[in-house]
Amino acid sequence: MKILVVQDHLRSGGTERQSIHLARAAVAAGHACSLVTFRPGGALGAGLSGVGHRALQPFDLGADWFAPGLTGAVRRAAPDVILCMGRMANCYAGFLQWRFPSVPVVATLRTGKPLPWLFRRSLRIVRHVVANSRDACERLVERLGVPRERITVIPNALLVPFEDSGDPDPSLRAGLGAGPSTSVLLCVAMFRPEKNQRELIETLARLPATVDWQLWLAGTGPAQASCERLSERLGLTGRVKFLGYRANPSPLYAAADIAVHASRSESLSNFLIEAQSRGLPVVACEAQGIGECFVPGRTGWAIAPGDRQAFREAVVRLTADSAESRAARAAEARAFAHENFDPVRQSTAHLSLFARLAAS
């Protein structure tokens, strides 16, 4: 089977990492899989060993939507199935289905953001849609009018090792000023307005003075500078740590105590399922798919957006947990992640769907 994955740019986001994982899994399973991106380069551009890759823009024009020669690239690839990943690629999905009517085009819904008109139109035209959460599936059916029989729910693959990485590296915590009693709150996400790191900073700034805490923010992006200024203005430079992009965030999960998230736009959070796989309890603002990332009320808590007091109370309760309670909760979180987000199961589900669509 020949599979073509279409993506706008290989930036450091979760969707891009899922695209590369799936492409590499397809090659490992004996399929011919190639990847077309609109823009060249990107933080993940070096992770494509064994996968054919072509960028449509001759040099990076900074335009996520510009896909010169896309039709010709698809014709040369002669795929049996086309998978569109990301908002911009999905805007082209309907056009590709119209242009290549005999080839099944699979669109994806992996975001809680408002969808451009072309994206919404594509969802009604393509042969099939993969949603990465049950919430996203219901959105497709109830709000976007996609027939349920044309939707398959396949959760994100967990792309960090399931195994616990052992004891935290004391040098990592000490280097950032966290002592043995410090509760390290971790958020790994790109700095985009919808990821809402500002909300985390403003909410946690009013934690009780009795709580010894730090907030570690890993990632880069256009909203980082404003978050740094906010941290300085609130006098939190000793508590809020900006760690930059981490290709391998595993040491951060091992060193942290609680995963926190305030994103306004999700479909299924890669960060939260990674945190669960490392045994971290979760406190997160409610958004699409958030409640599917953990066991509600046992390994994670979804807080109504804007209810900062409830968010702080959940964090304080977790910081006061006994060692026994933490160990039991961590074991349940790891088991939940292993059962629901296994990368082999995820890639197998995609490949089985593609084979069925190609045969029909």
- Residue 32 amino acid letter: A
**322 pLDDT higher than 70:** yes
In the prediction, which pLDDT does 25 show?
A: 94
**Residue closest to 108 by CA, chosen among 89, 81, 125:** 89
For the segment 37-83, what is each residue's pLDDT rounded down to a tens digit?
A: 999 988 887 767 778 899 999 999 999 999 999 999 999 999 999 99
Q: Which two tokens stand for residue 6?
A: 């279409």
Domains and CATH numbers, the chain: 2-157+342-359 (3.40.50.2000), 170-340 (3.40.50.2000)
Cα separation, 334 vs 337, in Å, equals 5
Rounded average pLDDT over 101-127: 95
User: Burial, 147: exposed, middle or buried (Cβ in 10 Å; 0-12, 13-18, 19+)?
Assistant: exposed
Structure tokens at 84: 């569109």
3-state secondary structure 116-163: CHHHHHHHHHCCEEEECCHHHHHHHHHCCCCCHHHEEECCCCCCCCCC
**Residue 119, pLDDT score:** 97
Contact 256, 276 (CB under 8 A): no
Contacts of 76 (CB under 8 A, 6+ apart): none
Q: Starting from the edge strand earliest in sequence, which strands make up the sheet with 128-131, in order?
A: 52-55, 32-37, 2-7, 81-85, 105-109, 128-131, 151-153
pLDDT, residue 162, reads 47
Encode pLDDT of 118-169 as tens digits.
Answer: 999 999 999 999 999 999 999 999 999 999 999 999 999 998 754 445 566 7
Closest CA relative to residue 278, chosen from 211, 228, 337, 220: 337
The pLDDT, as a whole number, for residue 14 is 82
Q: How far apart are CA 300 and CA 26, in angstroms?
A: 33
Q: Tell me, what amino acid is at 289?
A: G
Mean pLDDT of the chain: 93
Q: Which of the 8 DSSP states describes residue 315?
A: H
Give the pLDDT confidence score for residue 88 in this predicted structure.
Answer: 96
Map residue 5 onto helix, strand or coil.
Answer: strand
What is the rounded CA–CA span in Å between residue 339 and residue 327? 19
Supply the pLDDT for residue 161.
57
Express as a percent the part of the chain with pLDDT over 70: 97
Max distance between CA atoms of the chain, in angstroms, equals 64
Nearest-angstrom CA–CA distance, 63 and 7: 13
pLDDT of residue 166: 53
Residue 14 in contact with residue 42, Cβ under 8 Å?
Answer: no
Separation CA 11–CA 286 (nearest Å): 26
| Burial 294-311, CB ≥16 within 10 A → b, else e | bbeeebbbbbeeeebeeb
The reported pLDDT for the residue numbered 168 is 65
Q: Which pLDDT tens digit goes with each residue over 241-276?
A: 999 998 888 899 999 999 999 999 888 999 999 999
Confidence at residue 77, expressed as pLDDT on a 0 to 100 scale: 95
